[in-house]
Structure 1
Amino acid sequence: MSIQVKPTYEPLNEQTVLDVVKPLDFFDAVEQKSLLVKEIGDGNLNLVFHIEDPSSNKALIVKQALPYAKVVGESWPLTLDRARIESEALLREAESVPHLVPKVYYSDSTLAVTVMEDLSDHVILRKGLIEGQTYPNLAEDIGTFTAKTAFYSSDFYLHPFEKKEQVGRFSNPELCKITEDLVFTDPFFNHDTNDFPAELQNEVEKIWNDKELLREVAQLRYAFLTKAEILLHGDLHSGSIFVKHDSTKVIDPEFAFYGPAGFDIAHFIANLALNHLSQNAHAKEPFNRESLQTYLLQTIEKTWNTYSETFTQLWNEKATDPFAKTEGVLENFLQKTFQEAIGYAGCEIIRRTIGLAHVADLDSIPQKEVELFYKKKALELGSALIKNQEKITNIKELTDWIRGA
């Protein structure tokens, strides 16, 4: 009698990753002899491999969680369970928006591996936007993604038992702690994870000493800690979205957890706002710059309008909440979501400017003095959104604030 030994965790390499994909029969026996394997990951938390058969153009992506953050090293340990959370989040999302997430072919919680659809014909949204590309389906796709994943994971739709079971399954304390620290805490204090040019010291200290601002951030942080409203992607920035002209794919939900409804859409809006600001430097030709910035603001507006309309339609057709037909309940939820999202967007803008993890939109501005100028503008915008989140009552008012930054 032979005893089958279960694999133990080891980081994969370009040779051992083939042992993961061979049993899947995705590539036939002949093809497997000529497979091309390349490590392509440039993130902080994972290994990512692209496996392709050049003769058939078949390809897969294999993503493996590392037990530490690469940006720091083994001194920053992380749970491997986030790989399970990511694969389960993708499968949950695929139940409502299958066309907006990569297909999952296989996952293994012991190896912390997810095997998924290759999206090499797409580009990372951040890169495309910096280069001045526009995507006609982006707003509708992200509005639909955020609305459907929100509604179908909420108490408005799920039986209370299932909702609470899902909250437990997507408990993600270690990655939530990263967000708690890097988004809501460290940038607002003199912390050693912060990263900003010395020339911004005065502007940064102004943030650290703004008591009104800090009180608002404290409330936003507390809501993040305590509100288990919907299943969030948890890290929905423009580096977590693959795009091409007629396709949008939301990737990397390893930060997924149950949290406040406005969080995901806030991060998307914030990253478009940062790109809008950076286009003053990236788009040299005035007409092109105006066109790109108009597109970005229209995308923000259409994303929220699509979210609101889609969520409302689902509410009217499928809500199980006993107060679903009570006038004003839906409207109150959407308005609170919107205003909280403004505050979260402000936090994201500030942390992407002076915190540990920056965005290429600002950091790739070639002239140092121009980069500093727009980083100061970003800090002003982020602070204004946080402090005025209850005064901005509709999406047009929000884009007016971004336009004026």
Structure 2
Amino acid sequence: MILPHAVAEFCANVEMCRLTEQVVFSDPCKISEYNCWTSPYLDGDAEAIRNDNALKLEVAELKSMYILFCEKTQALIHGDLHTSSVMVTQDSTQVIDPEFAFYGPMGFDIGAFLGNLFLAYFAQDGHANDRKAYKEWIMNTISDTWNLFHKKFTSLWDIHKDGPGEAYLHEIYKDMELRELVKQKYMIGLFHDSLGFAAAKVIRQIFGVGHVEDFESIVDPVKRADCERCALDFAKSLFLLFRNFI
């Protein structure tokens, strides 16, 4: 159960949230002084994004879920999660740079991390040496990220099934079959949210302010644009299909 005082503690972070809302959901869909891309090779692609009404409808729904804490305060989230935020050793994992933290939709963090991995995957063909094995590792990491999160989250749900949470009261959902159905529906919704936010993050990193080194380190701009276009096409397809994934 998320306590009101806990949400209130992070409401003061509204300016950082507004910045994320601008650069992730708004700027890539319009002309903005902060936008930049591999020009002139992606000029037509940038214009296509600005004119893609179907994509903008999906962005609007994701944005309404995120904006101003108000629609999905599912958990305390990092707010700017990417692969460089995660410090890993054999024995521990630490996440740094929590200045964007607030209570919001869980799919935003998961999607942001997956989006970073998608970007890394599509960038590999722009580098000189053979990256086939590394691309396969990235895809396995994407799959493992969701599967391990799903396993851990649903395990905790089962452990605390009769806890103080009010969304799924034990006296209402004590029937095991019903509890499994509602848990499955919740996780499918969370998976859909994550894919949508991942797609938004990919587009933002190609056309918005602040790009990823995976692409920026590709010296040949034509090759870089080709890789970015592949990532963009994937993100656009994901936007149109993510609600159908199970």
Q: Normalising to structure 2: TM-score of the pair?
A: 0.89
| 2:183 alignment counterpart | 330
| 1:390 alignment counterpart | 243
Cα 1:174–1:302 change in 2 (3 A) is: same
| 1:228 alignment counterpart | 73
In 2, the alpha carbon distance for the partners of 1:386 and 1:247 equals 34
Of the candidates 165, 179, 186, which is equivalent to residue 5 of structure 2?
Answer: 165
Cα 1:245–1:369 change in 2 (3 A) is: farther
Please state whether the residue corresponding to 1:212 is helix, strand or coil: helix
Q: CA deviation at 1:232?
A: 0.4
Compare the two structures and name the one with the higher strand fraction: 1
Greater CA drift, 293-302 or 325-334: 325-334
Question: In the alignment, is residue 260 of structure 1 matched against residue 105 of structure 2?
Answer: yes
Stretches of structure 1 lacking an aligned partner (at least 5 in a row): 1-154, 394-405
| 1:296 alignment counterpart | 138
Of the candidates 237, 261, 277, which is equivalent to residue 122 of structure 2?
Answer: 277
In 2, the alpha carbon distance for the partners of 1:274 and 1:242 equals 19
Please state whether the residue corresponding to 1:267 is helix, strand or coil: helix
Note the alpha carbon deviations across 1:346-401, whole angstroms, 9 max, x for none.
000000011011111111111111011111112211211111111222xxxxxxxx
| 2:84 alignment counterpart | 239
**In the alignment, residue 268 of structure 1 is paired with which amino acid?**
F
In 2, the alpha carbon distance for the partners of 1:312 and 1:391 equals 21
Of the candidates 289, 305, 312, which is equivalent to residue 154 of structure 2?
Answer: 312
Question: In the alignment, is residue 190 of structure 1 matched against residue 35 of structure 2?
Answer: no
Q: CA deviation at 1:248?
A: 2.9
Cα 1:280–1:248 change in 2 (3 A) is: farther
| 4+ aligned runs moved over 4 Å, structure 1 | 244-247
Question: In the alignment, is residue 374 of structure 1 matched against residue 227 of structure 2?
Answer: yes
Q: CA deviation at 1:277?
A: 0.8
Q: Is contact 2:41-2:222 (8 Å) kept?
A: no
Stretches of structure 2 lacking an aligned partner (at least 5 in a row): none
Please state whether the residue corresponding to 2:32 is helix, strand or coil: coil
Question: In the alignment, is residue 341 of structure 1 matched against residue 194 of structure 2?
Answer: yes
Cα 1:324–1:271 change in 2 (3 A) is: farther
In 1, the alpha carbon distance for the partners of 2:92 and 2:7 equals 30
In 1, the alpha carbon distance for the partners of 2:198 and 2:105 equals 13
| 1:352 alignment counterpart | 205
In 2, the alpha carbon distance for the partners of 1:229 and 1:246 equals 29
Q: Is contact 2:76-2:104 (8 Å) kept?
A: yes
Of the candidates 180, 186, 202, which is equivalent to residue 44 of structure 2?
Answer: 202
Cα 1:329–1:181 change in 2 (3 A) is: same
Cα 1:256–1:240 change in 2 (3 A) is: same
Larger RCO (CA within 8 A; separation ≥ 6): 2
Q: Normalising to structure 1: TM-score of the pair?
A: 0.55
Count of residues in Structure 1 that have an aligned counterpart in Structure 2: 230
Compare the two structures and name the one with the higher helix fraction: 2
Q: Is contact 1:183-1:351 (8 Å) kept?
A: yes
Please state whether the residue corresponding to 2:116 is helix, strand or coil: helix
Note the alpha carbon deviations across 1:302-324, whole angstroms, 9 max, x for none.
11111111111111111324055
Q: CA deviation at 1:282?
A: 2.6
| 1:14 alignment counterpart | none
In 2, the alpha carbon distance for the partners of 1:343 and 1:207 equals 15
